[in-house]
Amino acid sequence: MQLDSKRIIVTGGAGFLGKALVRQLKKAGVSDANIFIPRRKDFDLTREADVARLYRDAFPGKKVDLIFHLAAEVGGIGANRKNPGRYFFANMAMALHLIELARADGLVERDGKFIQVGTICAYPKFTPVPFTESELWNGYPEETNAPYGVAKKAAWQMLDAYKLQYGLKSSYLLPVNLYGPEDNFDLESSHVIPALIRKCVEAKDRNDKEIVCWGTGSASREFLYSEDAAAGILRAAQVIDDPTPINLGAGFEIKIKDLVELIVRLTGFQGGITWDHTKPDGQPRRCLNVDLADKLLGWKSKVGFEEGLRQTIEWYRKNPSK
């Protein structure tokens, strides 16, 4: 698919990953006039009527050719534990309405495409490492984020069914934990890297003697720089027409304990680290097999982990209120 002449909706386009994707679209030659980013204050994508209005009003008198669905209601372990019902409903409702109303609006007849960004929270809790796409249905997700993960996995199943019945072209990407500039640094809802960066930077500024981290530090995670993820999503839109799940990752894992020590070093925090063992670790390990992304997309991550962390820390120091 040549993108430069396509009319494109990017849900979540004002967010962390969305901004990176919009930059990638512009690099690919798509003009500002052909990119529409629905804002939450204008369109509640959990409501069918608002999604119908989105498709009607995004490009007045014209139709959308490509939908990137990145919008999500999501957070870290704490936020997932507080909002399991909301996270299931919101993520399921958004995908349900966006996919069905795109079909009803003639996306298939226009040879358009729907790009769904999923989550590795959909994988079973004890998936063999590295995670391979064929393992997605072999068990129940880790409990603290299961409602969110199941909702996102159901969107994949819906796209598969719509491909079979209606011929809807789509692709389904599974990015590993993302990080990078413009991430969410709110301590109540952020993921592990931005939360740790904020903790360390603020503790350093206050000359604190210690920071407190959740769990034991024994769990491991893999992290992907946001700009690399956006490049993979864009590539899928160009070359993939069916929702075969495709992992997007950097091909490595790091224990949370080692991650904390690395961020402590990079931020210059001089205090100690205390582990709150009353808090959960989450899924024991996360690391992806990314062979399929290489094979089908010709895509690999480019930004080294320490370099990506340095850039993220630098951005947060310049934007501490974010």
Residue 320's pLDDT band, with cuts at 50, 70 and 90, is: confident
Strands in 70-205 per DSSP E: 113-117, 169-175, 177-179
Tell me: pLDDT of 118 over 90. yes
Which DSSP helix (H) or strand (E) runs through 57? Answer: helix 48-57
What is the share, in percent, of the chain residues with pLDDT greater than 90? Answer: 87
Q: Tell me the C-alpha distance between 62 and 55, whole Å.
A: 9
Which tens digits make up the pLDDT trace of 219-262? 999 999 999 999 999 999 999 999 999 999 998 899 999 999 99
ω into 130 cis (within 30 of 0): yes
Residue 281's pLDDT band, with cuts at 50, 70 and 90, is: confident
Tell me: pLDDT of 11 over 80. yes
pLDDT for the residue 168: 98
Residue with tokens 């052909």, as numbered in its chain: 34
Cβ atoms 121, 149 nearer than 8 A: yes
Tell me: pLDDT of 111 over 70. yes
Q: What is the mean pLDDT of residues 73-84?
A: 84
Q: Tell me the C-alpha distance between 267 and 272, whole Å.
A: 13
Q: Please state at what angle helix 256-267 crosses helix 305-318, rounded to 10 degrees.
A: 50
pLDDT for the residue 80: 83
Q: Dihedrals φ, ψ of 284, to 5°? A: -60, -45
Cβ atoms 246, 12 nearer than 8 A: no
Domains by residue range for the chain, with CATH: 8-179+223-251+286-302 (3.40.50.720)
Which tens digits make up the pLDDT trace of 182-224? 998 987 778 889 999 999 999 999 999 999 998 999 999 999 9
Q: What is the mean pLDDT of residues 81-86?
A: 93
Residue 322's pLDDT band, with cuts at 50, 70 and 90, is: low
Mean pLDDT over the full length of the chain? 95
Tell me: pLDDT of 282 over 80. no
Q: What is the mean pLDDT of residues 6-31?
A: 97
Q: What is the mean pLDDT of residues 134-160?
A: 95
pLDDT for the residue 285: 83
Which residues lie across from 246 on neighbouring strands?
Answer: 173
Burial environment of residue 319 by CB neighbours within 10 A (0 to 12, 13 to 18, 19 or more): exposed
pLDDT for the residue 299: 97
Cβ atoms 256, 219 nearer than 8 A: yes
Residue 45's pLDDT band, with cuts at 50, 70 and 90, is: very high
Higher pLDDT, 186 or 88: 88
pLDDT for the residue 1: 82
6-9-14 Cα angle (round to 5)? 130
Nearest alpha-carbon partner for 314 in 277, 87, 119, 322: 322
For the ranges 71-80, 139-148, 209-218, 302-311, the lowest mean pLDDT is seen at 71-80
pLDDT for the residue 284: 82
Residue 303 in tokens: 């930004």
Residue 36's pLDDT band, with cuts at 50, 70 and 90, is: very high
Higher pLDDT, 245 or 4: 245
Q: How far is CA 93 from CA 9, 110, 111, 141, in A?
A: 18, 24, 24, 20
Residues serving a catalytic function are 148
Q: Which amino acid is residue 250, in one-letter code? A: A
Which residues lie across from 69 on neighbouring strands?
Answer: 11, 116
Q: Which amino acid is residue 243, in one-letter code? A: P
DSSP state of 128: P
Strands in the chain per DSSP E: 8-11, 35-36, 66-69, 113-117, 169-175, 177-179, 210-214, 220-221, 223-225, 245-248, 254-255, 272-276
- Residue length, the chain? 322
